[in-house]
Amino acid sequence: MSENTRTQLAQLICFNPAGATLTAEEEAFIAHNRVTSFVLFARNLPDISAAQRLIDRLLTLVGDPLIAVDQEGGRVTRLPSPATHFPSAMALGNTGSPDLARRAGQATARELRALRLNVALAPVMDVNSNPQNPVIGTRAFGDSPDTVSPMGVAWLLGVQGEGVAACAKHFPGHGDTHVDSHHGLPRIDTPRAALDRFELAPFRDAIAAGVEMVMPGHLLLSDLDDTRPASLSRRLITGLLRTEMGFGGVIISDALDMDAVALEYGIPGAAVEAALAGCDLVCPIVQHAETLNALEQALNDGRLTLLQVSESIRRTRRLRERVAALPPPDAAWLGAPAHRVVAREIARRAIRVADADGFLPQPDLSGWLAVEFALGKVTIAEGRPSGTGKLINGLRDRIPSFAGITLSFNPIERDVLEVCQQAENARGLIIATRQALHFPSQRELVRRCCALGKPTVIIALRDPYDLTLFSDARCTIATFDDSPIMIGELLNILTRTAQHLDASHKLK
């Protein structure tokens, strides 16, 4: 096969470097095969200086590449400090403001452009209809298409209005799953008619709004294709997405090293199947050379055609040319004060307080005890998992004598007993859960503490679904994520520095 044909195939690969600097082998592969698309994760961007050096090198090697990152907000962010850490999509959805979503998208795009990144692998257009979903959760704007569609469309229009390409994911909808596709293949048995009304509706609206990229998810939908995951299904990608729904932009695979596809097909094999299904870009993450060889073999044996390769290159080249024509970015956009104002407004309007007895905010928290659970389940999608103890540390910063305990995400009985003994002597309790829905001993500790009859505030620091476990609680707070800006707003509410504990915070 000619070198020219091999370089054409290389344009189907979205390359991910192993670290923050390119190895000599990686540089040789990129330069020799003329790779033109890249995806970067948190490990590639440990700090701003390293990020700038890596991106400089990619631009030197390629000239006008696509460089993509998952910058969703909340628990899936890739940009290091001082970039603005926006609250989660579900926090944004809970504000009910498409205008705020548009402004958040606009600010996100400007910060990406400040680092010369040109593709946001977001928004998540999944409808998180399953509270037990281990991988989507607060990454979704909500649990109804009526929330996800307007908020997701507004966000992507804000992004693309600043020249960055947005990517709607995870087609045709990853919200109603019990399995994390990083570790297994989720199966959804919803009938097609129900999918049309629910899961597919946000993607249809995103396409109508002009979204430039779509990412299929690694999940099997039995009523659409009962043999292949959506990400490798020609029936879903070429048939449903491309032909029936009329999407003419770039289709990019999800990471092909995820167990949902890698265990059965292998990474190079999954890349071939994704390309055959209709993906324009495949993301092997590792085994790039092996993936290129597998694509070459598929072309040699007639499974993959040059016509299909050429069509994919045409679509990605069109996008590359558009983003390459953007005016130079302003480096001051990164972490800009105006963007932090937007993030704080999201936090202020998102937090929900249910306070049956009206004792928040408290004028005096002396003698109170706070218990904060550590983070347990962390999906691989989280490149920068939040630290533990941020709430307690923040309370101590404001009230130096404040008593606080940080516990394991699933504490043993001895620890539960010790906390309950300390709680007996406290004036009031603040208990901050993380994923209590998945950890029985968190639930048990909350139950025992509530039984003491003291003023108790229960806070769901991540998934709001934790609060469904404590329906008898008199005071609850849902934050929708534990990003620094959201924790700051929570501290304002708890320590009476908030000027806005009004109806805007009440649970709907």
Give the pLDDT of the chain (508 residues) as one tens digit per residue: 566 899 999 999 999 999 999 999 999 999 999 999 999 999 999 999 999 999 999 999 998 999 999 999 998 999 999 999 999 999 999 999 999 999 999 999 999 999 999 999 999 999 998 887 777 889 999 999 999 999 999 999 999 999 999 999 999 998 877 677 777 888 889 999 999 999 999 999 999 999 999 999 999 999 999 999 999 999 999 999 999 999 999 999 999 999 989 999 999 999 999 999 999 999 999 999 999 999 999 999 999 999 999 999 999 999 999 999 999 999 999 999 999 999 999 999 999 999 887 877 777 888 999 999 987 666 677 766 566 778 999 999 988 888 999 999 889 999 999 999 999 999 999 999 998 988 999 999 999 999 999 999 999 998 999 999 998 888 999 999 998 899 999 999 998 754 444 444 443 3
Reduced DSSP (H G I as helix, E B as strand, rest coil) percent helix, strand, coil of the chain, to 5 = 45, 15, 40
Please tell me the predicted confidence (pLDDT) of residue 363: 76
- C-alpha 370: how far from its chain's center? 29
Domain boundaries along the sequence of the chain: 3-326, 351-505
Other beta carbons less than 10 A from residue 34's beta carbon: 16
CATH of domain 351-505: 3.40.50.1700
Residue 329 to residues 50, 118, 225, Cα–Cα distance (Å): 18, 11, 44
Two structure tokens written together for 143: 């649990």
Query: Looking at the DSSP assignment, which residues form a beta bridge with residue 353?
Result: 477, 506
pTM above threshold 0.85: yes
Query: 207, 162 in Cβ contact below 8 A?
Result: no
Which position among 70, 143, 254, 481 bears the catalytic label?
254
At residue 387, the pLDDT reads 61
Q: Rounded to an integer, what distance in angstroms lies between the CA atom of residue 223 and that of residue 234?
A: 14
Gyration radius (Cα) of the chain, Å = 24
Active site residue 301: no
DSSP state of 239: I
- Spatial separation of the C-alpha atoms in residues 192 and 201, rounded to whole Å: 12
Q: What is the DSSP string of 28-82?
A: HHHHHHT--EEEE-GGG-SSHHHHHHHHHHHHHHHSS-EEEE---BTTB--PPTT
pLDDT given for residue 498 in this prediction: 42
Tokens of 309: 């390769």
Res 503: pLDDT: 43
Tell me which CATH code domain 3-326 carries.
3.20.20.300
Cα–Cα distance measured from residue 351 to residue 477, given in angstroms and rounded to the nearest whole number: 7
pLDDT of residue 182: 79
Within 63-144, residue ranges assigned H as helices are 89-95, 98-114
